[in-house]
Amino acid sequence: MVDADDTRPILIVPYMWIGDFVRGHTVVRVLKERWPNRPVDLLVNRQVAPVVDYMPGVRKGILWDLPRKRLALARQWELAAKLRAENYGTALVMPRTWKSALAPALAGISERIGFVGEVRFGLLNQWRWGEKKLPRMIDKKCALALPEGTPLPPEWPVPQLRVTADEIARWRAANGLGNGPAVALAPGSVGSSKRWSYYAEAARLLVERGLDVWVIGGPGEKSLAQEIVAAAGPKARDLTTNDLRNGVIGMAAAGVAVSNDSGLMHIAAALDTPTIGIFGPTAPQLWGPLNPLAATIQTKTFVPCQPCHRPVCTQNNHACMRDLPAIDVADITAQVLADFQARIALS
């Protein structure tokens, strides 16, 4: 049901983990299909704020870093004043915590929609039930963007991120990267169990094939990036920074991306960069991007505890990630890149 007459702005209070934040662009697309003339804004923290600049259909991000483990009531009032000034007609509150619903309620946003969660009576005025019956995170999110009781479609529009060719060219020039095809490696993740062990060896094998290798990530991946570059040689570059914008542009500039189950995997896939996802303790059908992956790599050996969805391996052998040889990943990566370049040449 499309309503082109409604022009009231909409605020989305999203999950702030990078992968979930990118996946949330599907909600924006669903809202714009329903209300093409309602501006859509996202509440953001400093980490995810740069991503908004590359999301079609988002008017702006409302930057506000609230502490995780305390109420900070004064900060909530300040945020509420900021939201009130935007005259939002609707707020979609994705997290189930009462803190996430507090500022929209204090701002007096007339329509505040969310699932029944922590004690939020009075903070939300449109309750939704049945969240636990929805199989995927994306179903839970997008259900809030539809009228209550609407049957969910079998497929949702996929997230989209767009970086201009000019911005990519400036980024390459600023980093002295030239114009050749490159493989972007994203060796980080939240939780050590999701990190594949052999990125350094795979980087060396890819460089031996004449490919440039970029290591993309945040400050937490700095030491790992240095290890990868030391193993692979001068055609490998450490491009880790504390600015996620660098990660977005780097993934857009790469010919192919290789990533653990992480936020950068979702970013690369949403950019339409051919993306290879390495999965161990998590199930790709549940936690992979909505966007199609160029390849999904999992161990071929039987690991009885897989998937465990645990942040740290409790078996002390990390078999689901250990039994993925570097040569296999390098071969698949080289083939995906060759296929991509062939398609570009024909287009």
CA distance linking residue 240 with residue 218, whole number of Å:
5
What single letter denotes the amino acid at residue 154?
P
Blockwise average pLDDT, block size 10, the chain, 347 residues: 85 95 97 96 96 98 84 90 97 92 95 84 88 87 94 95 97 93 94 89 96 96 95 96 97 97 97 95 86 92 77 76 90 94 82
Structure tokens of 101?
A: 């619903």
Structure tokens of 12?
A: 């989305």
What DSSP string runs through 124-152? BSEEE--GGG--SHHHHHHHTTS-TTPPP
What pLDDT is stored for residue 340 in this prediction?
87
Identify the CATH class of 10-143: alpha beta
Structure tokens of 5?
A: 């007459």
Whether pTM > 0.85 for this model: the answer is yes
Per domain, the residue ranges of the chain are 10-143, 165-346
What pLDDT is stored for residue 307 in this prediction?
82
Contact 92, 127 (CB under 8 A): no
Domains 10-143 and 165-346 share a fold: yes
What pLDDT is stored for residue 1 in this prediction?
63
C-alpha distances (whole Å) from 229 to each of 237, 245, 331 are 6, 22, 19
What pLDDT is stored for residue 4 in this prediction?
79
C-beta contacts of 101-104 below 8 A and 24+ residues apart: 101/13, 102/76, 103/64, 103/76, 103/79, 104/11, 104/13, 104/80
Homologous superfamily, domain 165-346: Glycogen Phosphorylase B; (3.40.50.2000)
